[in-house]
Structures are given as structure tokens and as C-alpha cells.
Amino acid sequence: MRLHKTLLASSLLTAALTFSCNDAQQNANATTTETEAAIAAPNSLKAAFEGEFTIGAALNGRQAMGQDADAIPVITQHFNSLTAENIMKWGPIHPEPDKYNFEPADALVALSEQHGMELIGHTLVWHNQTPDWVFENGKGKPASKAQLLQRMEGHIRTVAGRYKGKVHGWDVVNEALNDDGTLRQSKWLTIAGEEFLEKAYRLANEVDPEAELYYNDYNMWKPAKRDGAIRLVRNLQEKGIRVDGIGMQGHWGLENPSIAQIEESIIAFSKLGKVMITELDIDVLPNPSNRNGADIDATFEFDEQYNVYTNGLPDSVQQKLAQRYADIFALFRKHSDKISRVTFWGVSDANSWLNDWPIKGRTSYPLLFDRNYQPKPALEAVLQPVNKQANAQ
Ligand code: XIL
């Protein structure tokens, strides 16, 4: 019964929101001041934040290939920036030494061009989703430093080279830091040493001098990691190596990190270049340990007690999520002079990786659109302050 009410309430809200959007469009020719104010109010994320920052979404392979018909209208209405959730990562795009799989990424490029959206390349150098052969010598032993750096060079030349002039910016290196700000003991570091960082950015710059080059990581609100990221980027910049901006992955919770913690990092990173909120999603599910961040290897066995909303999100949590999104967007707007892009990690709850991480097979609700690509109250909470402002003008 309670569940039924929750579902009913949320479909009414959805209906009201959809109706008000359609209504504003249908009345486009009416002349009353009130209607004009309603028309002035943006009904899409990209319109709402135009002039402040672009609004991105990570697309999965099916969406990139146009195989998810319901996704396209939402993507084109709300987003003006696209990121490949997986299809440009080393494993999917370069699974074997001489084998590249460009088809899905090419489709994403075409989609972004067709709709005039910026495309973000994710990612050239990462310790995850990178095949073992990259780090091996072909005989089951670790690759030598020269071998590994040569492979990296070939990869960057081929992938960034193919998408030269098409990619607005590259996450050149992803997640090279531990939470304490020291360099992660990845195979990149242990085999090639710190030089891999320098080489990656130098090469990306050489191959696509017009593309912006970013460093991207999670838990960037943590003071020690923030300092580590600043050290990493500043060291490169001081050597004359181009790093244009820092991506703060927004894999956050309902309560943590605090707005103040996020704000401190936005301000600190802005001194080095552009700041982007990448990979935004708010986890509403309970987790076995006080997890934060997004280490994709930190997983737990399935346990029903952590899969608490299989029949829908209770209203109270829905409202909490909406408020959390309102608060973080208020912060982003306050710093829109520093933030160039806000990218959601997925379009709808159905596509979110949080259904499978850190526990596989859960029902998660981290985004602004529900499993049927319908707007959630959180979307309205993000748009409403902008609408109010538009109406007041
Ligand atoms: C995730 C994808 O969303 C999943 O589909 C995949 O199985 C694992 O990787 N940090 C990143 C992203 O930089 O690339 C990760 O994406 C999430 C954490």
C-alpha cells in the first residue's frame, strides 16, 4: 500500500513536470506576460545552465550506437556534452596489441557531431579496464619500462590521433592517486615510474594540440588527495607540460562529502586551470562499510539487506535526493566562473553503474531520470531555482 502510494505520488509529480514542459512549448505564441515568463523558464538542463557550464552525460555502448531509442530524446533535450562511459577505455577500444575496436566510439563521435555536442574522451591512461598484455612482455613476465611506455605511446597516437579535432578534451590520466595524496602503486607507476605521467600529457598534447587535457580522479574533496592532485598537476605544469583542467569525479552520497568540502577543492583546483565535475551520481543505497569514492575494485558480495528499494524509492529519500542535488547545483552555480562542465555518470537510473557497484545486482537511484527516462523530482529541484530567476527577470 505504501509502495503503491509512493509510486502514485512520483508518477503524479512526473506527469506534472512533463505537462508543464509541454504546456510551455504549446503556448509559445501566446502573449500574456505570465506565459512569456513560463516560456523564458528553461525546461532543459543545458538551457538552464547555458553561459555557466556545459551539462554532460556518460553514454554506454547501446546509447552511443543509437540502440536505446528512449534515450535519444532525453539526451538531446538536456545535454550538450557527452562522455564515453566505457567505449574509449583501453580494454574496449584496444583489446589486443594489434586490434582496435573503433565502431562504438565512432558512433559516439557521430552522435555528438549530429547534435552539436562537445565530446569528452575518457580515458587514455588508467590502471583499470586495461588489458593484462599491456603490462606484460608477451611471455607472461612484466613488461619492461621501455616496452610499457612504447605501448602507451602507440595507444595515445592511435586513439587520440583518430579523434583529433573531434574530442573537446581528454581525461589523459585517470586516478593516479591514492586517497592520501601519494601516487598509486599501479603497474604504470611500478613499471614506468613517474615518467608515465609526463609522457602521457606530452604525447596527448603533441597528437591533438587543440584538445583540452585533464587529470581526473575521485574523492578529490579529501584534503590530502586534493593536495596530491595539486602537486601532480603543478609539477607537470612547472615543466611546461600542458594540463588544462582537473576533473572531480562526483561519486558522492546523500550526506557526504559536505558542500564546504567540495567547495574547498573547486576553489583550490581553479588556481591551476578549469574545474569540471565529472561522473556525478548520488548513491542513495546503504553500503556495508562507510565507503566513499569510486575504486571499481572495492566490491562486496551481494546481500539483500543492502538492496533496500527494489520496489521504488520512498518519498522521503526521493525528497532528500532532490534537496542534495539542489544544494550541489547551488554550489556549482556559485562557482560557475571556475566550473566549465558538469557531467552525470549515466542518463537514467536504469543505466547507472551504481546498480552493479559496489554490490552487483542492486536497484539504485542516483540520477535525475528514472528507469523509464522520466524526470525525477531531483531534476525539478535542479531546474527550479533557474526557472524562478528566469521568471523574475
Ligand atoms: C565505470 C563504468 O561506469 C562501469 O560501467 C564499468 O564497469 C566500470 O567503470 N571512475 C571512472 C569511470 O573513471 O570510468 C568508472 O566507470 C567509474 C569510476
pLDDT in tens, 308-344: 999 999 999 999 999 999 999 999 999 999 999 999 9
3-state SS, residue 169: strand
Domains in the chain, start-ordered, CATH in brackets?
44-392 (3.20.20.80)
Report the alpha-carbon distance of residue 335 to residue 269 in Å, rounded. Answer: 12
Under 8 Å between Cβ of 354 and 283: yes
114 Cβ contact partners less than 8 Å away, ≥ 6 residues apart: none
3-state SS, residue 324: helix
Known catalytic membership, residue 52: no
DSSP annotation of 183: B
Q: Which of 85, 175, 212, 380 is catalytic?
A: 175
Check pLDDT > 50 for residue 37: no
What local confidence, expressed as pLDDT, does residue 303 receive?
80
Q: Ligand 1: which of 60, 85, 352 to mutate, most ligand atoms within 8 Å of CB?
A: 85
Q: Please write down the long-range contacts of 5-13, taking CB distance under 8 Å and 24 or more positions apart.
A: 6/312, 6/313, 6/314, 6/315, 6/318, 7/312, 9/315, 10/312, 10/313, 10/315, 10/318, 10/370, 10/376, 10/377, 13/377, 13/380
From the CA of 121, how far away is ligand 1's center (Å)? 13
CA distances from 133 to 89, 129, 298, 388 (A): 15, 12, 23, 55
From the CA of 41, how far away is ligand 1's center (Å)? 34
What local confidence, expressed as pLDDT, does residue 293 receive?
76
Ligand 1 binding pocket, CB closer than 6 Å = 85-86, 174, 249, 279, 294, 296, 353
Q: Cell numbers 596489441 label which residue?
A: 97
If you take atom 5 of ligand 1, which residue's CA is the nearest one?
A: 353
Q: How confident is the model at residue 42 (pLDDT cuts 50, 70, 90)?
A: confident
Residue type, 170: W
From the CA of 40, how far away is ligand 1's center (Å)? 37
What local confidence, expressed as pLDDT, does residue 290 receive?
66
pLDDT (mean) for 222-249: 98
Known catalytic membership, residue 206: no
Lowest mean pLDDT among 11-15, 47-51, 213-217, 269-273: 11-15
C-beta atoms surrounding 209 within 10 Å: 10
The model carries a pTM of 0.89
